[in-house]
Structure 1
């Protein structure tokens, strides 16, 4: 449920030296022909665009985000008991944490998923209303979209903040690379529009108390909008100037 927020933390943990850029040490651009420089810039832009899936948790992260909600609605339909459905979803999140520990992977993403599911489970069991399991996620979607919009308005687009550490450019795009600032701003607004469709569709269903329709649509609208937003971002960044690799003494950070 809190996958979008967790993506920012995942991106911040990536090494800024993992992705090449046109400013890597040892690259003598002055000795390159115009065609070679253009090809190098396109390659750098393409590789930076490819970092999107990594920054947003990858396929594994999207699966971790979707399955607990699916388990909840299936268990609720079988048992018609909110507590059984809630504990089933929590148990699955616990399995995710254990698997990541055994594989020596970061549990940051899995832990945030547990927190989100636990909150929804607690509210639904406390109120006895199954639809409240999805309420924290719906509210988070609204907050997330508002945060995206504000970040774009103040010229700190969230997509750039999340991808900068992954591409190795950190925040050089703010002052040194206006083309990428424009691209990150455009991509951030794309996320506002695409991700904003989820609460617009799901909140009216929440107030109808139709748990089945709400649950199944919540699952159905989990991965596809994110994939669409990532694809749009990828297309935007493919056409953006290549990232300028941040130096250790770079004051733009």
Structure 2
């Protein structure tokens, strides 16, 4: 009987995982995308913010930020590497552009339209915070389903209270960055919208905060998760073992 190729597939690696902690570490590392994924997420926001402040040409700022993301996508395609993180950035620009168009359609000023670009991010983080918190409060923390994706049974982990407790703590740690972004960015957005502070200052602050509170906060949460995971070794059982 011939041997299988030496190269391990992603599925092979996941099946060999024996602890909840190892599952979550692997899944989080995959989700973050490394330094390159962080840069690809930040570049469009940097381009948009700088161009808007320098030219006050909203269409130009949006177009060039989208163009930068497309260039990053082309590089990924040429290298035949994952395009997930670039597509996330392009999707974010598209949603921002939609909100800008809605603001323009309602007669919003150029300042209103520039602020509208940052509104989807605030709404997304608020919604994500609510969803994550809700999964913990009802006793089905989202991180638990990461465990289920490895064991082959999406809900078997819930029978182990120790696993549920660990997954709840990890899910709360994922919730914190989203809550912090909403708490910090919402007052600035509202102040810029109402005229309490200069719109350009609000746009500049939101642009900086979107980057500074993006991956850095996510990495801080990941570091806290790694610390928590390093303290425990909660075993998991596959669907076949538990049946």
Using the size of structure 2 for normalisation, the TM-score is 0.77
Structure-1 residue corresponding to 2:40: 64
Q: Unaligned regions of 5+ residues in structure 1, if any?
A: 1-13, 23-43
Q: Is the 8 A contact 1:169 1:243 kept in 2?
A: no
Q: Is the 8 A contact 2:41 2:85 kept in 1?
A: no
CA offsets, 1:100-126, max 9 Å, x none? 222223334432321221110232255
Q: Is the 8 A contact 1:86 1:125 kept in 2?
A: no
Deviation at 1:57, TM superposition (A): 3.2
Cα distance in 2, alignment partners of residues 188 and 76 from structure 1: 36
Cα distance in 1, alignment partners of residues 222 and 83 from structure 2: 23
**Cα 1:60/1:164, change in 2 over 3 Å:** farther
Structure-2 residue corresponding to 1:169: 151
How many aligned residue pairs are there? Answer: 214
Structure-2 residue corresponding to 1:115: 91
CA offsets, 1:203-240, max 9 Å, x none? 11111222111211222111111011111111222233
Q: Unaligned regions of 5+ residues in structure 2, if any?
A: 1-8, 105-109, 193-201
Q: Is the 8 A contact 1:190 1:232 kept in 2?
A: yes
Q: Is the 8 A contact 1:48 1:242 kept in 2?
A: no
Higher relative contact order (CA 8 A, sep 6+): 1
Bigger Cα displacement from structure 2, 68-77 vs 240-249: 240-249
